[in-house]
Amino acid sequence: MFVLSSLISRFSLRSRFIALITTLVFATTMLLGWVASRESAQQMEANIGNAAAESAYQMVDKLDRSMDSRVKDVKLLLGIQALTNNAATSVLREQLELLQNNHNVVSWIGFTDTTGTVQAATGGILEGQSIAARPVFLEGRQSLWVGDVHEAVLLAQLLPNPGGEALKFVDIATPVHDSQGEFLGVLAVHLSWEWAEYIQQSMFSPAQQRQDTELLLLSADGTVLLGPEVLIGQSLNNLKHIAGPTRTSPQWAIETWPDGERYVTGYAWSSGFEDFPGLGWIAVSRKPVTTAFAPVEELQTAIMAIGIVLALLSAVIGWLTASRMAAPLTRLASAADQMHDGEHNNFIPLESGSPELKRLSTSMRDMVSRLLEQRSTINRLEDLANTDPLTGLPNRAFLNQYLQLAIPEAQRNHQSMVVIYIDLDCFKQVNDELGHHAGDLLLIEITQRLKNALRSGDVVARLGGDEFVMVLKTKPEHLEMLSHEISRRLLSSISQPILLPENEQARVGCSLGAAWWPQHGHDINTVFQLADDALYAAKAKGKNQLVIHSPSLPTTKQR
């Protein structure tokens, strides 16, 4: 200690001050680099995990929607008159085979009598045989029934099977009654499980395939229905999120799988869709931790390397410029602190004690001025990025930011939202006949009319071309009244003639599609899609009108 003290005492105060500044700068830069690295890594890990959960959700949602379509198909089969008018077996079989040919996922359709004996079936398979002891008859004679994935029993040796693998089906059955309500039998449909494998493969992008991403589908008891061949039929109840209580929102976690490897694992639980009640399926997306978090490690390494370089550079600058700066630096630091706190009226003082200090204070002044100019430029660029350049309306980027704040606020205030899609009718005709400049002037005038129809606090944005969207907040009991009132204003205002240069006039109309959040969907993106579907229906019905979403409207997949 005495030797160290003697060694330090040999250095001048100036040298000690420079060494202290260098040490502080180096330590501060390294600390900030470490904090930035850690925070960035945590954020990236969360994004990667959420992406895995989203992949699982997309898969289970596609399966639920596909099953809903199959259930609706079965309901449509009940309209076959041959089922209820005692038609000949050949006639009924021909009807069923015609329907099977139109649905490549249907492996077998059969109609039984009241005792469970198959009266007619596609390909004549099982005709005359009894399936009274099978769940498809026992459950189907009570009400519409959907059976989970299972291997074929009676059909295993009768249906074509080029691949040789065990055939798996999902069953749908429903009772058939005559016009007096008397039970006639059961209509049974076996769906090939191959459609689910197709949906699974369609989920993979080339990037996901390269990154070892795997998608699995589990039954309600945790048994693997779809996934890597080595896992088919295995139970994954040892995964803590599978064995836990049933959840509705997608989640992710780092799990240790039966092979001993750790994976970033995303979960999504099936809740059914419309007519399909759901079978408790669990979609799972997994990716090895080493692959998933490789970008995180690269980011941490890059941030720490940059931090070291910046720390060394700052230390060198501090060493070269710290001479005789103790008092002037205090003044400079005080001025900088005041500006940091928002007091922009204060300026960096001009120190003239030495040429070095004068240059430093001048440089700091210039730097602060440039930073303020850059901040002003950034603010202007942000405004431009969130605004449509032609109409001055908010664009899709602003709308996304607005919804992130508006939805929590609406939930706190117990409010709902009306989403109205607006598409101009005959706008293309104006462009073709009067030119694109006239079309631009028309859009500017339409924009003003849209603004005039808004209430305070509502938002209208341009999505592109002649398509706009309005978002209106209100109490749930006022949803329908507000939808019709705003639509009445829009239809009346937009239909008025528009005066263009050279005494030209143009007239356009508009079609409107509306959906309500959360009444029509808790996911705002779903509500936007439903409003778009309603707009499509309005145009199909003759344009210049409002259509509000209802379950009977065709969806995007049905277009």
Catalytic residues: 466
**Is the distance from CB of 312 to CB of 242 less than 8 angstroms?**
no
**Nearest Cα to Cα of residue 469 among 552, 558, 393:** 393
* CA-CA-CA-CA dihedral for 236, 56, 249, 405, to nearest 10: 150
HEC profile for 466-508? Answer: CEEEEEEEECHHHHHHHHHHHHHHHHHHHCCCEEEHHHEEECC
* DSSP H/E element including 518: none
Q: What 3-state DSSP class applies to 378?
A: helix
- β-partners of residue 145 are 173
Edge-first strand order for the sheet with 546-548 is 459-464, 467-474, 416-425, 509-517, 546-548
Give CA–CA dist 548/58, Å, rounded.
Answer: 26
- As a whole number of angstroms, the distance between CA 311 and CA 25 comes to 7
Which of 479, 481, 469, 478 shows the shortest CA–CA distance to 525? 469
CB–CB of 108/125 below 8 Å? yes
Q: What does the H/E/C string look like for 231-293?
A: HCCCECCCCHHHHCCCCCCCEEEEEECCCCCEEEEEEEECCCECCECCCCCEEEEEEEHHHHC
- Secondary structure of residue 530 in the 3-state scheme: helix
CA 300/CA 512 separation, integer angstroms: 50
3-state SS, residue 110 = strand
CA distance 205 to 51: 13
